[in-house]
Amino acid sequence: MLVLILKLLLALLALTVLVYAALYFLAPAKIADTAMSLERMRAKLERSEMDITADGRNWHLVYLEGGSADAPPLLLLHGIGADKDNWTKVAASGLTRHYRVYAVDLPGFGESDKPADARYRIADQVARVAEIAKKLGLSRFHLAGNSMGGWISAAYAVAHPEQVLSLWLLNPAGVMSAEPSEMMKLMAAGMPLPLFARSEQDFGRLLQFVMQKPPFIPAPVRTVLAGRQIANFRLNEMIFEEIREKSGALDDSLAALTPPLATPTLIVWGDRDRVLHPSGAAILNRLLPKAKTVMLPGIGHLPMLETPGRVTADYLAFRATLP
């Protein structure tokens, strides 16, 4: 009888392994969806959808939300080529315990609408974020962004200072007077832009370029993420060029303000950022009289993914200093 039970257990184990192997090789998207769902559950975030109207166009957008409904609202904006799930690790590290968190797939990215004939300048995205905030019922809120999302966040505070209670800028783009970064030098030399991927091999190089400490990504999830990058390659490149050529400079717009923007701001930058030179932090710190800067040693362009615990702790400490 014992031998029979052991045989049955071994057969069940073998079947489980076979099923997993089949999913691993034949249905990586299902494994990726499951992994992302578990990460969102751990962060106490739920997927939601909304429709907004901006620049004469109807947009269908997808976002994550979580945390107590009566907690202070915090709106999170991702960078170019990224999406809302860039924020799940910091949400899990403590954000949803303290705030009502919203992480949005900006128009043109993630699961949100991404028409190729729309405009994606920083000013266009600022106008759409205003509609997003209105749809979410946010009249005064805390705003955060990484890279392109950081530029949009700061530009939003310039346009709507009465709405933004504080800014959290993580390696923000748009500081054109900063020293040339490694990416800028590559572009000046006529090399391909290392921010987007045409192939799975490109995707591996992309991860190594934007992060000094990339988190572990299971192979099926990596395959799915690479596929999304490849599918959106041309649109991402087009958006990048449009922003670069038609959005001006964040430091110029801040320098032109009289009086200066007085929004309390936490500037976070990885000192090993190869995409945007860390000298941008000091420039922003001079232009924002209520800014505090945290420079992260050994960290690249995506600190919220590379060191989420440290990033969250620094943000909670910053928020504790606000009235």
Q: What angle do CA 134, 160, 296 make, to 5 degrees?
A: 100
Query: Which domains, and CATH codes, for the chain?
Result: 2-320 (3.40.50.1820)
Contact 124, 75 (CB under 8 A): no
Q: What is the pLDDT of residues 82-129, one digit of tens each?
A: 999 999 999 999 999 999 999 999 999 999 999 999 999 999 999 999
**Global pTM value:** 0.91
Could you tell me the two tokens for 172? 């923000």
| 294 beta partners | 268
| 60 beta partners | 51
Q: What is the pLDDT of residues 264-306, one digit of tens each?
A: 999 999 999 999 999 999 999 999 999 999 999 999 999 999 9
Q: What is the pLDDT of residues 207-226, one digit of tens each?
A: 999 999 999 898 888 999 99
The band of 17, judged by pLDDT with boundaries at 50, 70 and 90, is: very low
The band of 31, judged by pLDDT with boundaries at 50, 70 and 90, is: confident
47 or 220: which leads in pLDDT: 47
Above 70 in pLDDT, residue 240?
A: yes
5 or 273: which leads in pLDDT: 273
Contact 178, 277 (CB under 8 A): yes
